[in-house]
Amino acid sequence: MSYSNTDVGDKPADPYKDKNLQSPDLKTKIEDLVKFTEACKFGMMTTRVGSSGLLTSRCMGVAAREGNGIDLIFHTNTESGKTDDLESDPKINIAFLNATGEWASISGEAAIITDRDVVKKYYSAALKAWLGDLGDGKHDGGPNDPRIGCIKVTAKTATYAINDGTIIGRGIEVVKGAVTGEAPKVNKLREISEQELQQCR
């Protein structure tokens, strides 16, 4: 059995998207995306495991941003599995979620950066807690530790949904939808294309 996004009769096959998708000006879409991801601070990084082809995710703190806030920088231990994953397939997704159900998904390509000037630029002393000190005077979790690198995620597309209206108003919409069968209008659902992201850099 196959499914499509075509309309069924006179109704859209994806009524939630039809009801909630918005297309404001690009400046608004970018500013709201950056504001939301900055508030979340942590995202789930999804990569493809080279040996199996399976997807795996892990929680990562955003270390910095470039490209007007849309390209993300993360710290990494260059000896870690995620670094191996990205060397075999640089395609990546970063997902953000908060307690109210707002979310964002940023898909792009990752580059592993080991240039010491870049590493030092974004270095945080908190990395010592994650990498530890191996006691050899070199692998000490400091800015010159060769294990420390950065992952730069260049965003290619983004989709996000942030709350629309008050919590009471959204609750009423959901109840009304359950009674009438109509999808509730509760979110500002937005999509940003690769061309739009490139334009705002």
Beta carbons of 97 and 80 less than 8 angstroms apart: no
Domain count across the chain: 1
Task: Please tell me the predicted confidence (pLDDT) of residue 22.
Answer: 84
CA nearest neighbour of 102 among 155, 58, 38, 56: 38
- The gap from C-alpha 111 to its chain's centroid, in whole angstroms, comes to 15
Please report, for the domain that includes residue 70, its CATH number.
2.30.110.10
Would residue 127 count as lying in a domain?
yes
pTM: 0.81
pLDDT digits (tens), the chain, 201 positions = 444 555 555 667 777 777 778 889 999 999 999 999 999 989 999 999 999 999 999 999 999 999 999 999 999 999 999 999 999 999 999 999 999 889 999 999 999 999 999 999 999 999 998 889 999 999 999 999 999 999 999 999 999 998 865 554 444 444 444 445 555 565 789 999 999 999 988
Would residue 6 count as lying in a domain?
no
Beta carbons of 140 and 160 less than 8 angstroms apart: no
- Locate 115 and state its tokens: 């240039």
pLDDT, tens only, 94-114: 999 999 889 999 999 999 999
Would residue 177 count as lying in a domain?
yes
The domain containing residue 163 runs over which residues? Answer: 15-200
Q: How far apart are CA 46 and CA 94, in angstroms?
A: 6
Would residue 1 count as lying in a domain?
no
CA nearest neighbour of 119 among 81, 141, 148, 79: 148
Per-residue DSSP letters for 127-187? HHHHH---SSSSSSSSTT-TTEEEEEEEEEEEEEEEE-S-HHHHHHHHHHHHHH-PPP--E
Would residue 125 count as lying in a domain?
yes
